[in-house]
A = this chain, B = another copy of it.
Amino acid sequence: MTKGRPLTHSREKLLEKGIELFHQHGYHGTGLTTILEACQVSKGSFYNFFESKEAYAVAVIEFYQALEIDRWNQEFAQFEGNHFVKLRKSIEQMIEELDSCNENVGCLIANLSGEIGNASPELRQAIKRATEKVVGLMADDFLICQGEGSVRTDLPAALLAQMVWDCWQGALLRMKVEDSRRPLRQSLALLWEHILPPTSSHEFDSVITKD
């Protein structure tokens, strides 16, 4: 049926569609037929790019993360202040940019982590790599913050990054359940005002308890 059909679908377009589909339906909920229909692509063309649905999912995860990191770097660069303040402003902007649809969606990688406990080793590895990459980038940031004196130094930057990532996952789950961005804002304020600063500044009264 599709023999000789021109290869109008670039790999990138298939990956973009994959982000959307996995966001909407999860990994298990997105069948190959759905992918083919949504991308208006034949099975043959699809298999020209990806050897399986699983290989496609791995590529989608990597593509999604590259996009998110680009977006983050662009936003981060536009803010003023020390590194710790710029991080907070960037995260605040990220939260405000979530639309009401995203409030139910959250981070693709976190969603897939929850879903693929029993999935294939390849997919799990892809998610593990993506998670480690984010945590690693955050650890680099916190190391800079520790150097500028804005973040506590009694704990290694890598451990702080891990904790912030963990907290963020919990806040994303609460965002979904509460259908509100409040948990994200609350978690950010708690971390940036009370948990991450050097110990001596823990005593400040904060707005977050009134939030």
Query: Of all chain B residues, which has the CB nearest A113?
Result: B173
Is B114 touching A159 in the complex (CB atoms < 8 A)? no
A185 beta carbon closer than 8 Å to chain B: no
Is A155 touching B209 in the complex (CB atoms < 8 A)? yes
Is B203 touching A199 in the complex (CB atoms < 8 A)? yes
A209–B127 CA distance with the chains assembled, in angstroms:
24
A162: chain B residues at CB < 8 Å are 186
A170: chain B residues at CB < 8 Å are 165-170
Q: How many residues of chain A get a CB closer than 8 Å to chain B's CBs?
A: 49
A173–B117 CA distance with the chains assembled, in angstroms:
9
Query: Of all chain B residues, which has the CB nearest A111?
Result: B114
A65 beta carbon closer than 8 Å to chain B: no
Is A159 touching B209 in the complex (CB atoms < 8 A)? yes
How near does chain B come to A166, taking the closest CB pair, in angstroms? 3
Is A167 touching B176 in the complex (CB atoms < 8 A)? no
Which parts of A192-211 form the interface with B (CB within 8 Å)? 194-195, 199, 202-203, 208-209
* Sample of 13 more A-B contacts, CB < 8 Å, known A114-B115, A154-B203, A163-B187: A26-B28, A110-B114, A114-B114, A115-B115, A128-B177, A131-B174, A163-B195, A166-B166, A166-B168, A169-B170, A170-B170, A195-B195, A199-B203
Contacts A/B (CB < 8 Å), 19 sampled: A26-B28, A104-B118, A105-B117, A113-B176, A116-B176, A128-B178, A131-B174, A154-B202, A155-B209, A156-B209, A159-B209, A162-B186, A166-B167, A166-B168, A166-B171, A166-B187, A167-B170, A168-B170, A170-B170
